[in-house]
Chains A and B, each alone.
Chain A
Amino acid sequence: DQQVKQNSPSLSVQEGRISILNCDYTNSMFDYFLWYKKYPAEGPTFLISISSIKDKNEDGRFTVFLNKSAKHLSLHIVPSQPGDSAVYFCAGIIFQGGSEKLVFGKGTKLTVNP
């Protein structure tokens, strides 16, 4: 049972436009959500996070929106740049009994065309 779903395996946008990457989850117990970016042959790099008690977090060109009622979060990149081309992973964290469980989605490959 996949608790974190990224239903779009790929997304292509033009440079300068907005990129919107979506993520859905099934477990309402997630406490935090994170986005990671991964270039080929490199490990994922932390991008931005959001607590489940918030609905928006912004960091420069990156904004994450959380809609708890819909169990949906999205990452907005504005404006998109060719260097943003990478695979983006959404992840949820559940804190349970002193330990944490981190669940990743399968990723969405973003291509930003010059």
Chain B
Amino acid sequence: EAGVTQSPTHLIKTRGQQATLRCSPISGHTSVYWYQQALGLGLQFLLWYDEGEERNRGNFPPRFSGRQFPNYSSELNVNALELEDSALYLCASSLVGNPTYEQYFGPGTRLTVT
């Protein structure tokens, strides 16, 4: 069974540009989560999508947005990039209703803003 996939692996942008990151969940999983792992800050929850709807949002500005498609894949968009947006962005998926709420993570997209 294929795991969570993310693309691209690396992304280099300049300040002020927009970045689009993509995630495909495990087959059968309807929930997709996005996290930011910046240096020294651990994993910070960004967004949760389930069945195409945004269910929850972390403490990030509105220029961080996303969507979930009918096939449950997801995009994370970051507008007006700032230098501090440089981080590893992780996507995870889960099967809603799993009482342990296991989340299966992808390998991440390394975003570098110069």
Q: Do A and B bind each other?
A: yes
* Contacting pair A46 B102 (CB below 8 A): yes
CA distance A99 to B41 in the complex (A): 24
Q: Report A-chain residues with C-beta under 8 Å of the C-beta of B92.
A: 43-44
Asked if B45 and A49 sit within 8 Å, CB to CB, the answer is no
Instruction: Known A93-B101, A99-B55; judge A107-B42 contact (CB<8 A).
Output: yes
Is chain B's binding surface mostly helix, strand, loop or mixed?
Answer: strand
In the bound complex, residues from chain A placing their C-beta under 8 Å from that of B48 are: 99-100
Contact of A105 with B42 at beta-carbon distance under 8 Å, contacts A32-B101, A34-B102, A49-B101 already known: yes
**Are A41 and B43 in contact (CB-based, < 8 A)?**
no
Residues of A in contact with B, size category: 20 to 34
Residues B15-71 near A (CB distance < 8 A): 33, 35, 40-45, 48, 55-56
> Binding site of A, secondary structure by majority: helix, strand, loop or mixed?
strand
Given known pairs A34-B102, A49-B100, the reply for A106 and B41 (CB within 8 Å) is: yes
Known A34-B102, A102-B103; further 13 A-B contacts with Cβ < 8 A: A43-B92, A44-B43, A44-B90, A49-B101, A91-B43, A99-B55, A99-B56, A100-B56, A104-B35, A104-B44, A104-B45, A106-B40, A107-B43
